[in-house]
Amino acid sequence: MSPVPPFRHALCPLLLRPLAAVALAAGLAGAAAPSPAAAATPRELRRNEIVEAVEKVAPAVVNISTETRVENPFGGSIDPFEWFFGGGQRRPPRERIENSLGSGVIVTADGYVLTNDHVISQASKIAVTLRDGRQVEADLVGSDRDSDLAVLKLKDKGPFPFARMGDSDDLMIGETAIAIGNPFGLENTVTVGVLSAVGRSLPGPDRRAVRYADFIQTDAAINPGNSGGALVNILGELIGINAQIVASGQNLGFAIPISRGRKVYEELRSFGRVRPLWTGMVLGAADEAELAEPQAGVIVWRVFGDSPAAAAGIQAADVILEVNGQKTGSVPEFDTALARVGIGGSATVKLRRDEQTLTRSFRPTAFTRELGARVSQLILGFTVAEGKNGTVLVDQVRADSEAGQRGLARGMAVLQVNGRPIEKSGDFYDEMPASLYRRAVNLVIATRSGRYRLTLPTRR
């Protein structure tokens, strides 16, 4: 046996004497009156703020499973090549069912659930599994593709456990973030990290152009199946709905801030859809314009008469720098700031006009479909009407418009606007406010001879 190093022998008496004294003092004190720490169990000693936050929210996080019926136009037939070369096997059935899993958060005691639009998109059946094992069917109240949010209503009677919405406008970089969801179907999985950043700009789930510039970034692990789950602060308050990941990265997760989620939730619950906002402005990035001095901001290309912007005195060629104190260096940032204002809210904008810095205020209104017909006629040069069998047809076309000059004619079918399928005229007109923030509108048109794409400018 090797000898113990001398310095150990020298330190041991020095350490043991105070330790013994502390132990004796603790023993005497314990004999007189047990301390709270001594009375606590090891489990109670391990209970920290994270555990308490999870206990508050986890029962409200649910597993969402969906069924989607997918049509196979060649289903049930025999492949002619297989028949010729032998085998003659029949193809899969004409209709098949696809299943998917995601997460959601119950936000009211009577069973309203907030989740992602891409979790329930095109689902024919939605089932929700609670943490206690109950399986409940849910109805779709409404969904919004642009914000990637949807609201469900549980069919069973409550009360249900629910998460309280917090304030995502008061976040601190580095504060604790807790993600709760069902990655890969593993129910109520908890991961912990920090808030890595706020105000991130991201494309939509199908890689469309950026719509919002306020995503929360966290390094709390988020995986497939976490979509629609809860991002929670240390107080157990819901601060975000987990939405996206960077698959090629590590612990790069993104959540929709609850400040935006709350407004979308209220719109979907009240109206079944998010009503578009109307300001009366055609906008673009300031660096696209030929300004005397390049500026970061959003330039006003056109102001419609009898609109909130016109009433506020905003003019064409103004450059909007801020909305309610939030910088708007790009159209997505303006769109995000306006979404926070909502219909009827107050928007105070700081703008640059020539050498002056001015302040103007207005209240966005709801964009009606009647207004959509007017805007489409002025900007694109045509209107639409309902056709037969769920089609939307071109109705009136201005002969002096680019649409008319490029051959668009009455009776042609409009299948898509900016990548969005159009099933009724309301879908078409709902796209008009967003189209005013684009340099051009991309259409898919169908005629008897086939389909073709048509791009029409919005700034003329």
Which DSSP string do the residues of 397-417 spell out, in sequence order? E-TTSHHHHTT--TT-EEEEE
Cis amide bond preceding 159, omega within 30: yes
Structure-token pair, residue 142: 């409404």
Structure-token pair, residue 67: 């069924």
User: Is 118 an active-site residue?
Assistant: yes
Q: How far apart are CA 28 and CA 423, in angstroms?
A: 81
Which DSSP string do the residues of 81-125 spell out, in sequence order? HHHHHS--PBPSPSEEEEEEEEEEEE-STT-EEEE-HHHHTT-SE
- Residue in 298, 309, 300, 353 with CA at minimum distance from that of residue 331: 298
Q: How, if at all, do strands 365-366 and 298-303 pair?
A: unpaired
- The residue from 103, 118, 196, 335 that is catalytic is 118
Is the distance from CB of 120 to CB of 101 less than 8 angstroms? no
User: Is 148 an active-site residue?
Assistant: yes
Report CA-CA distances (Å) from 108 to 128, 181, 275: 15, 18, 23
Under DSSP, the state recorded for 60 is G
Other C-beta atoms closer than 10 Å to the C-beta of 397 total: 19
User: Is 9 an active-site residue?
Assistant: no
Is the distance from CB of 297 to CB of 169 less than 8 angstroms? no
Which DSSP string do the residues of 230-243 spell out, in sequence order? EEE-TTS-EEEEEE
- The residue from 65, 103, 168, 227 that is catalytic is 227
Q: How far apart are CA 78 and CA 329, in angstroms?
A: 57
Is the distance from CB of 336 to CB of 213 less than 8 angstroms? yes
Q: How far apart are CA 441 and CA 443, in angstroms?
A: 6
Distance of CA 347 to the CA centre of its chain: 22
Other C-beta atoms closer than 10 Å to the C-beta of 192 total: 18
The neighbouring-strand residues paired with 300 are 283
- The residue from 148, 219, 335, 430 that is catalytic is 148
Report, as residue numbers or ranges, the catalytic residues: 118, 148, 227
